Amino acid sequence: MPANPSVSRRTALKSLAAAGLATGLLSACGDDSSSSSSGGGSATGPITFGSNYSDAAPKAAFAALTQQAAGSTSVQVTVNTTDHNTFQNNINSYLQGTPDSLATWFAGYRLQFFAAQGLLSPIDDVWNKIGGTFNDAAKSLSKGLDGHYYLVPLYNYPWVVFYNKSVFKAKGYEVPTSWDQFVALAKRMQADGLVPLAFADKDGWPALGTFDIINLRVNGYDYHIKLMKHEVPWTDPGVAAVFNQWRELAPYQQKGANGRIWQDAAKALENKQAGLMFQGSNQVAANYAASNLPDLDFFVFPTINTSFGTDYMDAPTDGFILPKKGKNQDAAKKILEYIGTGAAETEFLKTDHWDVGLANGLIAPTYNDIQKKSVAEIAKCKNVSQFMDRDTVPDMANAMIKLIQQFIDSPTAETIASIQKSAEAQAKTIFTS
């Protein structure tokens, strides 16, 4: 049995590597308080760009963007791409270690959280030049809690209800505008043998979007943001109202969602086994085959509470940050100034058919119908939220992922009560101390 000793040796090596990693993490702590002087440097010096655009399509789009940026600023740019999950999980040690001069990141609370800990450089001087490109909503998303700018946004995308035009035409369905019409449509689809709402939550985060939109429709934007910041307790009746509303929809959502990845749910919509799917265009449209894309269309989540109408939605914004410990900050700022223009966004969107640029009034020549409609619908919103895992502390989003999976398992009144209790108990330890 020669294989046996080699197996145990391999296991031994593995655990040794793990131990080494653990000490690496631990020893990364002591030596970081006073080295923030690495800013400045050469104004044209080469810079590195940390990217989490690891999928093929966005990676190519990003390469085109950085090439343009390098060409027009004569700053040499090297892109270091990391798998996006890994990138996000390591962001803390990345920013404290030897980060790149620039990095990809997200807007909103998820930005403020790291800015408040002094890990990012403010870029107000960049915004003095690019301020005219963006509207007030984009501006406030790019600011830290201290009022300084920390992000240059690139694109966003809407969370809306997707459907196939051909299915609606063949069955004579109408786009619903009220909750009652929405539920009636779902019921009709079920009778027609379709899965009314394709749904998946094995990845954890997709169902957070459903919570967000129902909360925005039932309680409005201000309430939602207060809840995300734990200024409203999770035991509030407003939260119960959201889950109770969701209960009416639960029978029409695809069964077994907790074991399904969202790509499989999107496939059910694309194969016309499902009638509708509520998710981001960055996922559904990006997952569609190019030949099926013209058949795809969407409508915004229907009105529930008429005092809020369809004024709000989740439209997550992605952009770029300047890590405090990055090298050649002056050169990096030049790149940021270039990226904060409509021309740069147009360049990026040449190969991206699901996101939309954030520059004022930008309609890139390569936009398809989905993108044109996205721009219009986002512009109609009085406010856009970012998504639960960007609007609240990541720990709280993780807690809600599990609690919402529990709700998906058994959408009952008892579950709702226990979810609210547990969410509040965890929020207390996460937000206060």
Partner 1 sequence: MALITTEPLAPPAAQAPRRRRRLRTLTRRDKFVAAAMLGVPLLLDLAFIWFPALASVLLSFTKWTGVGPIKLQSCAELPSAPGIPQPGCLYGVQNYHQAFTNYPDFWPAVEHNAIWLAVFIVFATPLGMLFAVILDRGIRGSRVYQSLLFLPVMLSLALIGIIWELIYSPDFGLINTIIGRNHNDNLIDWLGNPHLNLWALLVEASWRQAPYVMVLYLAGLKAVDPTLREAAVVDGASGWQTFWRVVFPTMRPINIVVLVVTVIESLRAFDLVYITSNGNPLRGLELLSVAVTQNIVGETQRIGFGSTLGVVLLVISLVPISIFLYQAFRREEQR
Nearest to 241 by CA among 308, 313, 305: 305
Question: Applying CB under 8 A, does 109 fall inside the site for partner 1?
Answer: yes
- Per-residue binding string, partner 1, 354-393, x by CB under 8 A, is --------------------------------------xx
Give the C-alpha separation, 325 to 76, whole Å: 19
Q: Which is nearer to partner 1, 28 or 379 (CB)?
A: 28
Interacting span for partner 1 (CB under 8 A) from 121-129, 152-160, 335-343, 399-407: 399-407
8 A C-beta contact, residue 226 and residue 238: no
Q: Least distance to partner 1 from the beta carbon of 74, Å?
A: 35
Q: Which is nearer to partner 1, 39 or 251 (CB)?
A: 251
Question: Applying CB under 8 A, does 293 fall inside the site for partner 1?
Answer: no
Site for partner 1 in 170-199 (CB under 8 A): 195
Question: Applying CB under 8 A, does 433 fall inside the site for partner 1?
Answer: yes
- Per-residue binding string, partner 1, 19-48, x by CB under 8 A, is xx-xx-xx-xxx-xx---------------
Of positions 7, 13, 170, 376, contacts partner 1 by CB under 8 A: 7
- Report CA Rg, the chain: 23
Kindly determine how many residues on this chain lie close enough to bind partner 1 according to the rule CB under 8 A: 68
**Residue 226: burial class (beta carbons within 10 Å; 0-12, 13-18, 19+):** middle
Of positions 38, 44, 72, 96, contacts partner 1 by CB under 8 A: 96
Of positions 72, 113, 148, 293, contacts partner 1 by CB under 8 A: 113
Question: Applying CB under 8 A, does 248 fall inside the site for partner 1?
Answer: no
Q: Which is nearer to partner 1, 197 or 356 (CB)?
A: 197
Q: Which residues form the interface with partner 1 (CB under 8 A)?
A: 1, 3-4, 7, 16, 19-20, 22-23, 25-26, 28-30, 32-33, 85, 88-93, 96, 109-110, 113, 116-119, 145, 195, 201-204, 229-231, 254-260, 264, 267-268, 392-395, 398-399, 401-402, 405-406, 409, 422, 425-426, 429, 431-433
